[in-house]
Chains A and B, each alone.
Chain A
Amino acid sequence: MSAAALQVATSAAFLVAAAGLAWRLRLHLSRDLLVVGARAAVQLTVVGLLIAAVFAEPPLAVAFIGLMLFAAAWTAGGRLTGVPAPRRRAAVAIGLPALGATGILIAVGAFSPEPRTAIPTAGILIGGAMAATSLTGRRLLEGLTADADAIETRLALGDPIRDALAPTVRQAIHTGLIPAMDQTRNVGLVSLPGTFVGLLLGGASPAEAARLQLTVLLAIVAVELAAAVLTSELVTRSRTGPGDRLLPKG
């Protein structure tokens, strides 16, 4: 049996074993487990074929990155309830830092401009920026409501709007950066991140894998901070008016 067939057969055996255990324990999960397993197999096969085509055609790579950004903006924008043009704002907050950092990493030669490298790099950074945008945006909108009395008190005491909002904005950015900070703090201790594992499986030396993983990880921290700051700026602008005023919701 070839290595590929062995991999597929082993993973299928795990799925069947899980479904069998669920059936034996009467968890009413067997059918769902088999369905999600089959679905994952189909999705990954399709994406694998698509990626193969994209890797071969650089213009398709640009379109693929655009699609990733669109999907990320759609998801994160959905969290910005009550903010006008939420998905456009999310696209700016995610796209500027993620694509900017990808460009810098390629421009300085840290990563090759080939689709095989550029797409995963952009994907990781877009994903990180999406998480920071969603978390920061949601926390900031909650904070603007919860802290409304304190914000108005500061405004009434003569604070400019930026100063009055500073504690709420700071808290939102802190929240938005929690996943990136935790991931960076615990890297190698709690989990081995995808880039590192992928490079090792691909035959890279541990030193090379660690170096590239560190590059990606530190870029993610910077990208997520920039996305969180941009998100708070774009949300703040939508909720403040001239004359240092907090505008009512909606």
Chain B
Amino acid sequence: MTTADADATTSPGPVVVAEAVAVRQGGRELLREVTLDVRRGRVLVLRGPSGAGKSTLLRCLNGLVWPDAGVVRLDGADLRSLPAPAVRRRVALVSQTPVMLPGTVADNLAYGLASPGPDRLTRAAAAAALPSALLDRDAAELSGGERARVAIARALTRDPEVLLLDEPTAALDADAAATITTTVRALADTGLAVVVATHDDTLAAAIADEVATLPTGGRGAG
């Protein structure tokens, strides 16, 4: 970690800010005027019923969706003015149903990296509670819980500043969910900013530093 990063870790300023973000699609309002701050070392939990726009908001925060109104800022700069691939490495998103890319777990972790040293992969795997014995396994053969951890580890190999998790414990058994819960909390404690969209009350209670609730129809703010 560089000095600048260490300073940033303890910096009180938000790394990502959503200002009155609204998204419409086909005449339907997916998200209405959501404002929130994402801070380093903190876990922000997004709550709200299905259809409230939690996934859309997460996708706005890393530039996969551009808001129709409002703005998302990364370290003060409008996300739309920054190169998207670089933004998405800094603000990593793990979707609700993680897709395993072809190849082994190690191939997945190294995907898109110019020089993925073994240390980097092992470190990311350890941070996501992924046993190193799994690295040589075909990613297509993994269980749901293993896939969730591979997806988190894959995001971590990019050394992100923000980790966005969409329903990370959905469809997982209690043990796998508990592992994810512990992992997420530990990641935030290392200085990572974490945003988790979830219906899981146990997860929310165990990890949340702050909670933002999006009511149905997308209206709301954190």
| Partner-contacting stretch, out of B6-14, B36-44, B58-66, B123-131 | B58-66
Known: A245-B64, A245-B65. A159 touches B99 (CB 8 A): no
The answer on a CB contact under 8 Å between A158 and B85 is: yes
Task: Contact check, B85 vs A244: say whether CB atoms are below 8 A apart.
Answer: yes
Nearest A residue (CB) for B91: A156
Tell me the chain A residues, 130-178 only, with Cβ under 8 Å from chain B: 149-150, 152-161, 163
Instruction: Say yes or no: B101 contacts A158, CB within 8 Å.
Output: no
**With known contacts A159-B85, A250-B26, A149–B99 Cβ distance under 8 A:** yes
Question: Contacts A245-B65, A245-B66; is A153 near B84 (CB within 8 Å)?
Answer: no
Q: Taking beta carbons and an 8 Å cutoff, which residues of B are in contact with A?
A: 25-26, 62-66, 79-80, 84-86, 88-89, 92-95, 97-99, 101, 111-112, 154-155, 158
Q: Are B97 and A149 in contact (CB under 8 A)?
A: yes
Complex Cα–Cα for A231 and B222 (A): 44
| Residue contact B63 to A245, C-beta cutoff 8 Å | yes
Say yes or no: B158 contacts A153, CB within 8 Å: no
Q: B66, A152: Cβ atoms under 8 Å?
A: no
Contacts of A246 in B (CB 8 A): 64
16 contacts between A and B (CB under 8 A): A149-B97, A149-B99, A153-B95, A154-B112, A155-B64, A155-B84, A156-B94, A157-B89, A158-B88, A158-B89, A159-B112, A160-B85, A243-B79, A244-B63, A245-B66, A250-B26
Total interface residues in chain A, CB < 8 Å: 21
The one of B25, B63, B95, B98 in contact with A243, judged by C-beta atoms closer than 8 angstroms, is B63
- Are B80 and A243 interface neighbours, CB within 8 A? yes
Please list the 3 inter-chain residue pairs (A to B) with the smallest Cβ-Cβ separation, ordered nearest first: A244-B84, A158-B89, A153-B99
A-B contact count (CB 8 A): 65
Cα A154 to Cα B101 with chains together (Å): 9
Q: Cα distance A156–B89 when bound, in Å?
A: 7
Closest A residue to B58 by beta carbon equals: A156
Q: Which residues of B contact A163 (CB under 8 A)?
A: 112
Could you tell me which A residues sit within 8 Å of B by CB distance?
149-150, 152-161, 163, 241-246, 248, 250
Chain B residue, CB-CB nearest to A167: B102
Q: Which residue of A lies closest to B98 (CB)?
A: A153
| Chain B residue with Cβ nearest A161 | B84
Please tell me which one of the listed residues A153, A160, A161, A243 contacts residue B101 in the complex, with CB atoms under 8 A apart: A153
Chain A residues near B85: list those with CB within 8 A. 158-160, 244
Q: Which residue of A lies closest to B85 (CB)?
A: A158
Chain A nearest Cβ from B158, distance in angstroms: 6
State how many angstroms separate the Cβ of B25 from the closest Cβ of chain A. Answer: 6
Give the docked Cα–Cα distance between A156 and B26 (Å): 24
Q: Quick one: given A149-B97, A243-B80, A244-B84, are A156 and B62 in contact (CB under 8 Å)?
A: yes
Assess the A241–B95 pair: CB atoms within 8 A: no
In the bound complex, CA of A152 to CA of B164 (Å): 14
Is there an interface contact between B112 and A157, defined as CB atoms closer than 8 Å? yes
A245 to B59 CA separation, bound complex (whole angstroms): 11
Write the nearest CB–CB distance from B28 to chain A, whole angstroms: 11
A134 CB to nearest chain B CB (Å): 27
Whether B154 and A157, one on each chain, are in contact in the complex, defined by CB atoms closer than 8 angstroms, is yes
Given contact pairs A149-B99, A248-B25, A156 touches B84 in the complex (Cβ within 8 A): no
Closest to B111 in A: A157
- Please give the distance in Å from B63's CB to the nearest CB on chain A: 6
